[in-house]
Amino acid sequence: MPRTGKRKPFKLAPYVLILPTVFFVALFTAWPVLQSFYQSFFQQRMTVARLREPTFIGLGNYTRLLTDRYFIQVILNTVSYVVGTVPISILLGFLFALLVNRKLKVVSIFRLAFFHPMVMPMVSAATIWLFFFTPEYGLFNSALRFLGYTGPQNWTGNPNLALLSVMIVAIWKNSGFYMIFYLAGLQNVPESVYEAAALDGANAWQVLWRITLPLLRRTTVFVVTIAFIDAFRTVDHVFVLTGGGPSRASSLLLFELWRQRFENQDIGISAAITVIFVLVLLTFTVTNFLISEREGA
Amino acid sequence: MKASGINTPKLIRDLFRYLTTLITAGIAIAWSIPVLWTLVASFRPARDAMTRGNVWFGSALTVENYQRAWSLAPFDRYYVNTIVVVLIILSVQMVTITLAGFAFANYEFMGKKPLFFFILLQMMIPTTALLAPNFATIRILGLYDTRLAIAIPFFGSAFGTLLVRQAFLEVPRDLVDAGTMDGCAWWQLILHVYLPPSVPALIAFGLSSATWHWNNFLWPLVITNSDRSRPLTAGLVRFTQLGEIGARWSLLSAATLMVAAPLFILFLIFQRRFIQSYLHSGLK
């Protein structure tokens, strides 16, 4: 074993030390990506006897997916879900952070109130909300009725509301999580910055837009990244609330992947969805990386 | 809001402060209603109608829902499974990330950069997205429906490696050189020089990793098929779909809270620690 850190010509030690990590990343991240890529060019369905053995069909799985009305619906759902949950959760997280960034005793209770949904499993959160969306006695409907709304009431079973109910649970669960990042960011802003702004006669609004937000740029980039990835990889609430229905009105990409692989047993299609999924994630993370590199963040 | 009162008279400033507190309190209460409601409902007799009045101001409190939920599904088994899975993952991760983090912090070697980027791949492509091919791998390994199958994809952690490397890089080089001069072997360097100042980073990673795996659902769902290996989250979803549960909300509330409670209580006790760890490791 080499004893000195640097300066020696060749050492086996570092390779042995990283071997376990490299091995598991290779086996459960790199290999499955390659395998999916390969399988996506084959037709293979376990539920149909003559399709059990893979047959090469080129881009067949991809063309089938992109011409499938339901799959397009799933893509659109996923886009709506991301667009509808990410900005709102982050905005709420920021608002909560502003509200609880004070030196008051009671504030720690407020923080807990905003943050606690994050500590529970998404399946628990969704089960709790299941009740609030029920037609007969859901609190959510009572609240809507109180506000004078008497429209459709069965939230999770209504094609127009199913996706919205999935989104509401995600926003409720995640906003508090983003709050803690903004709170940490706010507490890093030195008091003197605000004092200087006061001397210059800036009002609260100007301080928020011209000073606080620009100073929290890096926090925002970071929070957007984790919020985006989370929006793609968490579908636990879809399982509990709607099962992707009615007729896939609330299905998301990962849920559709699960359905194709484990309900339809369609290996080829699920491999193609995996590839699409991985491409979306890589495009996002790489773009994000390049942007933050360029800005030197 | 720190900046709110700048250049305004004291009276208006105070008024504004009280108003902010009031609004905050309002939102905080609204945000807490789901969990508070569930907590109260779980202690209400199952035969009572689930009206708002009955739940908030009902007559009796009882633990029968918890007993009944426990008797309808093997929650004790689910608890053991979840705890075992989390402990397996944590103990293996601690070793793998320490070794890899040490290698990247302490050595210069050929291919260091590409290998580091290769490991970071795991952060860009969440393991959950690869459930279909990983399912096939687990079948081939003969691990289907075991607790090891739930844990094994997470044995290596890019994020943990990154955190440990960062912590190790902050250890003064002089200290490392002194250790080397004294004839420390590499493992002695880790144990006596690198690890002691890095314990907080490891705890931070451990807490967020534990949270994430306690709450994880989709992968355990597809890779388990019996109560032998099923963890709490998958067990809860199965429980909600049992025929005899129906719309028994007080029963469901009890089951839901049982799944969330242990972590929740730990969080309440070590709140600061947990929040620090989430801040450290936003990617979980």
Condensed to tens digits (0 to 9), the pLDDT of residues B21-79 reads: 999 999 999 999 999 989 998 998 877 766 666 677 776 788 888 998 888 899 999 99
Interface membership of A42 toward B (CB under 8 Å): no
Domain ranges of chain A: 65-294
ipTM, two decimals, is: 0.89
Contact of B146 with B227, CB cutoff 8 Å: no
pLDDT value at residue A2: 47
Cis peptide before A246 (omega within 30 of 0): yes
Q: Which helix (H) or strand (E) holds A56?
A: strand A55-56
Interface test with B, best of A37, A46, A128, A211 (most B CBs within 10 A): A128
What crossing angle do the helices spanning A217-233 and A162-187 adopt, rounded to 10°? 150
Residue A191: list chain B partners with CB under 8 A. Answer: 2
Q: How far is B78 from chain A (nearest CA, A)?
A: 14
Considering only CB atoms, B122 lies closest to which of A25, A139, A235, namely A25
Residue A223: list chain B partners with CB under 8 A. Answer: 282
Q: Which B positions 71-110 lie with beta carbon below 8 A of chain A?
A: 95-97, 99-100, 102-104, 106-110
Domain ranges of chain B: 2-62, 68-280
Residue of A nearest to B186 (CA): A3
pLDDT value at residue B244: 64
Q: Which helix (H) or strand (E) holds A271?
A: helix A267-294
Interface membership of B267 toward A (CB under 8 Å): yes
Assigned CATH for B68-280: 1.10.3720.10
- pTM of the prediction? 0.90
Q: Which of B128, B150, B108 shows the shortest CA–CA distance to A257? A: B128
Segment A262-274 shows an average pLDDT of 95
| Distance, CA of B275 to chain centre | 12
What does DSSP assign to residue B5?
A: G
Give the lowest-confidence range in A184-198, A218-232, B14-28: A184-198
Among 1.10.3720.10, 3.40.50.300, 3.40.630.30, 3.90.25.10, name the CATH number for the domain at A65-294: 1.10.3720.10
pLDDT value at residue B168: 94
